Structures are given as structure tokens and as C-alpha cells.
Chain A
Amino acid sequence: MFTHRLFKVWRRDFLVWQKYFAVSLVANFAEPFLYLIAMGYGLGRFVPSIDGMSYAQFIAPAILITTVMNSASFETTFSSYTRMEVQKTFSGIATTPVSMAEVVGGEVLWAATKAVMTSCVIFLVLAFFHLIHSPWVALMPLVMGATGFLFASLGMLMTSLARSYDHFTYYFTLFISPMFLFSGTFFPLENLPGWAKTLAYFLPLTYAVKVARHLFAGSFTLEDGLTLAGMFVVAILLGLVAVRRLVKRLIV
């Protein structure tokens, strides 16, 4: 089903991104910077330490992970949909030996890579605020990769269902935004009532934030490793469903 041609689609997106690279980096730099100042240091003054961490330390890994989520989600929804429906880039490529499955797969892979690459600038911001202490943070790209891949696949699945851009507005307001707030990102899940806590365990971001926070705090358990592996498996499965659905939709 997939050959090396998948990476040709990846490379196409990479080439285009290089042109807007500077602009996207500025955004990725500014946003976490503002969040850290406003929430970590502004709001954080009124927050007692959580599990021995300052509030800024608590939200730092979450800011990194949510940026990956947003970037990957945006890329396979609004951007991929534009390339597919408006620019007809997908069908243009699929008349070459590259198959439609490889086009869609390449897009997912690209979205994951881009999300990780652009989010890496946040490490600079975190270092600037002295928020990186543990050497385990070196494993963060793995957590970011799993997060990027998972949300890229999920976004592509939404694209396979979408008939217009409005669809994505629902997806972001009803799914991505609640996840941004209720995945143990800005406050510990323990503070939530029981039913909400249960609900939070169905949100994929919860797991990514948990593992990221462990790495920043200087630990990496077997459970964290299994969580990561699980995220990759879910990402692959969702990605395959998205590819299947889109091939069925586009190849008629």
C-alpha cells in the first residue's frame, strides 16, 4: 500500500513550508512565551506549588504538548482540506505513480513532523525561563512525535468526513479546545469531580501531558513507555482509517 513515494509528498509539503518557515517560527515562539508570562508568572503567583512544582514548571510541558497538538491538528484539517478540495493538489499528484493512499499518508506524516519541528523552538523559551532541569527532557521529541502523529491522524479523519471548512470549526470548538483545557494541562485532574476525571481519561492529550510532565520532573517509568507505544499504535490505526476513507472518497 505504501512505498517510498510517501516521502515525496512529505518533501513537497516540506519545500512549501520552507518558504513560510520564518513566519511560522515567530508564531510558535511568541505564543508559548506569552502563555508562560501570563499564566506561569502572572496567574502562577496565586497558585500554591503543585506536587512540589511551581505553576510555571507545571504548565511548561503542557504548553509544549498542546502546541504540537494544535499545529498537527491545523495542518491535516484546514491545510490538507485546502490542498485536497480547493487546490486539487491531491488528484494532481495521484495521476503520477504516487498513489492516493501515499498522498494522504504523506500528508499525515508531514503534519506530525512539522508539529514537532516547529514546537522545538519552545525549548528555547523554556530554557530562557530556566524550566528545563532533567536530562529526561531529551526524550521529549518522542512524546511530541506521538502527539503530533496522533492528532495529525485524527485531523485527517475529520477531513475525510468534512464537506466544508465549517466542519473543522466544530471539531476545534467541541473537541480540541476542551482537550486543551481539561487534559491536566493547566490544573491537576484530581481537582475535577469524579465524572469529569473519568471523561478526561478518554482524551488522548491527557496521556501525552502526563508523560511529558514526568520527563520534565526527571522520571520515565515503564508505564510511560507503554503509554507512548499505545499512542503510536492509536495514531497508526486512526491514520489508516483516515487514508482508507479518503481514498474511497477521492478515487471514484
Chain B
Amino acid sequence: MNSPAAIVASDLRKNFNSFEAVKGINFQIRRGECFGFLGPNGAGKTSTMRMIYCFSPLSGGFLSVLGMEVTREARQIKARLGVVSQEDNLDPDLTVRQNLSLYATYFDIPRAEAKRRADELLGFLSLQEKKDQKIDKLSGGMKRRLMIARALINKPEVLILDEPTTGLDPQARHLIWDKLRALKASGVTMVLTTHYMEEAQRLCDRLVIMDHGRILTEGSPSELVKKYVGREVLEIRAPRSVLLPIKARLEEKHYENELMRETLYVLLQHQDANILEEFPEIQGLDFHLRPASLEDVFLKLAGRELKE
């Protein structure tokens, strides 16, 4: 049962009629790590998550969670998993505390123990004051925290987080990040999907970037930044007619760059401030030199064009 990998997928596929949402992906998630799935909408992240938490049947390939095959031992896997799905599906007919204590009974947790855990989790996610409220009285951030509390009620070994902070304000987001880091420190394996590169950078040990149902790359956030972008990015904003000749000159000197609408992005492998001396014409323009980030990797691989 104690295989080194928490989750193993090989040639994993998901089709919806003729649409291929996941096109044969491979990955291994280690125990105790936080593993991220990044990608634009429609990349296949949520389909992958739903197969991991034994909700969607596989269309092909192999997937095991905690050493068990999802196609054979769904119930046993679900008993050891915590799921924060993308949409809030809290029970609006119940209070905050009942949402936890009743959910515990679905895992066959005895009632007294269920109540004890519910109170403990309300404390952990700072929801004690709301415990007797109905769900529709909660803010978006509180609902997400309650979703996380509910996912922890069975002391899961693996926590699935499908966009845990989408739509939340910065304070709510930071609170959730702190709690997730505490969980990770306690040894919980986490699988996360997100649109926020900052979130991935802060939480994930390793991640994959997906698009059109395929994995484009895999690595730690810093590895990926180094590999695909470098150290810094120079952004220059000007009309295209001004940018085009600069772009041509940059290419002559083998500077990696990308022109998107009215902005030219120059990817700098080294801390290279002399680019401004080398190209004095930039200095008169609206430019901005900043450290490279995961967002640059993402946009480079998934493309800067709108996906929808």
C-alpha cells in the first residue's frame, strides 16, 4: 500500500463523445508534495482531477491513487481522499457545522467523533463564529474555507484542490495559502489546479503545464522559469510601427523576444542591464524590466492569445 508515489497516471485519456479532453498524459505525484496542474480553460485540468477523485470514468490508460487502481477500488480511494471541487457544492439546507458533521457520516465516522472533528476544523479554518449560520450567509472566501474544512473531515492522505482560490480577494487567498502550507507541512499530499501563477509558485513543489489535453512541460517552478524564460523580462510598450524595427534588431543579436499587440517582451537569460545601452532607442519608450516569473513560462508555452 505504501508505494512511493501517491498518484501514477500513464497514457491517461478522457473523451466526451468525440471531443478529447485529455489526450494520453503521464505523471507521477510523490507522497507529501504539492503538485500543480496549470493551463488555460479547457486544457483538461478539471477532467484530470475528476478522474483522480474517482468521479469520472477513464476513457483510456492507467491511473492509480495511493497504490489502488481508480477503476477497481474507487470507494477505498475516496475514503482516503479530500476533494475541494471547482464549484462550491456545500449543502445549503444545513448550517456550517452540520455541513461538516453530516459529511463525516458519509465516511462512516461515528457521530461523536464527527462533531469533535467538525469543531476542530472550524477552528483551523477560522470559521467558529459562523458555525450556526446557513451557507448563503457566508462570503465567497468563507465558503471556500468551509469546502476545505469539509474535504479534511476524513483526515485525507491526498487533498485535491480544483481552483481553491478562484474569485477570492487577496486577504482570503493569503489565509487559504497559509492553511494549505500548514497542511503540507503535516504531510498531506496536495494536487492543485489554478489559474494563478503566483499561487502555483508559492505552493507547488512541482507542476505541469497543460494545454489542449496534453502536458507541455513538467518541473519545479524555478526550474521552469530558468529553462523557458531566463532571469528577467523586459517589457516595452509602444505602437507596433515603433516596435517592429526594434524587434528586428533584437533578433539580429539573438535576443529571444515576442511581440504581442502593442507590447514587446524580451526574455533575458542573464541579469543583463546593458541591453538598454545596446539599444538606446528603448530608453525613450515606456519600458519595464522585471524578474521572470511562472506567468512568462505559462504564456510562452500556452500562447498569449485568448483561449476562448
Residue positions of A touching B, CB distance < 8 A: 5, 8, 11-12, 15-16, 19, 87-89, 91-99, 251-252
Residue positions of B touching A, CB distance < 8 A: 16, 53, 55-57, 74-76, 78-79, 81, 83, 85, 87-94, 98, 102-103, 105-108, 154
Determine the chain B residues whose CB is within 8 A of the CB of A99 once the complex forms: 74-75
Contact A95 B91, CB 8 Å, known A5-B106, A15-B98, A251-B55: no
CB-contact partner of B85 in A5, A12, A89, A91, under 8 A: A91
CB-contact partner of A97 in B90, B93, B94, B108, under 8 A: B108
Contact A98 B106, CB 8 Å, known A15-B98, A87-B91: yes
Between-chain CB contacts (< 8 Å), 18 pairs: A5-B106, A15-B94, A87-B91, A87-B93, A88-B88, A89-B93, A91-B85, A91-B89, A92-B89, A96-B103, A96-B106, A96-B154, A97-B79, A97-B106, A97-B107, A98-B106, A251-B55, A252-B56
The reply to whether A15 and B102 contact each other, CB–CB distance below 8 Å, is yes
Provide the bound-state CA to CA distance between A95 and B93, in Å.
19
Provide the bound-state CA to CA distance between A46 and B248, in Å.
100
The reply to whether B89 and A11 contact each other, CB–CB distance below 8 Å, is no
Provide the bound-state CA to CA distance between A88 and B76, in Å.
23
Determine the chain A residues whose CB is within 8 A of the CB of B93 once the complex forms: 16, 19, 87, 89
Residue of B nearest to A9 (CB): B106
Residue of A nearest to B74 (CB): A99
> Can you list the 4 inter-chain pairs with the closest CB atoms, starting with the nearest?
A92-B89, A88-B89, A96-B106, A16-B93
CB-contact partner of B105 in A11, A87, A94, A251, under 8 A: A11
The reply to whether A252 and B98 contact each other, CB–CB distance below 8 Å, is no
Determine the chain A residues whose CB is within 8 A of the CB of B83 once the complex forms: 95
Provide the bound-state CA to CA distance between A88 and B78, in Å.
18
CB-contact partner of A94 in B55, B57, B81, under 8 A: B55
Provide the bound-state CA to CA distance between A89 and B93, in Å.
10
Q: How far is the CB of B25 from chain A (nearest CB, A)?
A: 19
The reply to whether B91 and A91 contact each other, CB–CB distance below 8 Å, is no
Residue of B nearest to A15 (CB): B102
Determine the chain B residues whose CB is within 8 A of the CB of A88 once the complex forms: 87-89
Q: How far is the CB of A95 from chain B (nearest CB, A)?
A: 4
Q: How far is the CB of B90 from chain A (nearest CB, A)?
A: 7
Given contacts A19-B93, A89-B93, A95-B53, 18 further A-B contacts (CB under 8 A): A8-B105, A11-B105, A16-B94, A89-B89, A91-B55, A91-B85, A92-B90, A92-B91, A94-B55, A95-B55, A95-B83, A95-B85, A96-B78, A96-B79, A97-B107, A97-B108, A99-B74, A99-B75
Determine the chain B residues whose CB is within 8 A of the CB of A251 once the complex forms: 55-57
Determine the chain B residues whose CB is within 8 A of the CB of A92 once the complex forms: 85, 89-91
CB-contact partner of A96 in B56, B76, B107, under 8 A: B107
Residue of A nearest to B92 (CB): A87
Determine the chain A residues whose CB is within 8 A of the CB of B91 once the complex forms: 12, 87, 89, 92
The reply to whether B98 and A97 contact each other, CB–CB distance below 8 Å, is no
The reply to whether B75 and A97 contact each other, CB–CB distance below 8 Å, is yes
Determine the chain B residues whose CB is within 8 A of the CB of A87 once the complex forms: 89, 91-93
The reply to whether B102 and A12 contact each other, CB–CB distance below 8 Å, is yes
Determine the chain B residues whose CB is within 8 A of the CB of A94 once the complex forms: 55
Q: How far is the CB of A114 from chain B (nearest CB, A)?
A: 14
Determine the chain A residues whose CB is within 8 A of the CB of B16 once the complex forms: 252
Determine the chain B residues whose CB is within 8 A of the CB of A252 once the complex forms: 16, 56
Provide the bound-state CA to CA distance between A12 and B106, in Å.
10
Residue of A nearest to B80 (CB): A97
Q: How far is the CB of A142 from chain B (nearest CB, A)?
A: 30
Q: Which of B16, B57, B103 has the most CB of A within 10 A?
A: B103
Provide the bound-state CA to CA distance between A98 and B104, in Å.
11
Residue of B nearest to A90 (CB): B89
Q: How far is the CB of B215 from chain A (nearest CB, A)?
A: 22
Residue of B nearest to A83 (CB): B93
Determine the chain A residues whose CB is within 8 A of the CB of B76 once the complex forms: 97
Determine the chain B residues whose CB is within 8 A of the CB of A96 once the complex forms: 78-79, 103, 106-107, 154
Q: How far is the CB of A70 from chain B (nearest CB, A)?
A: 21
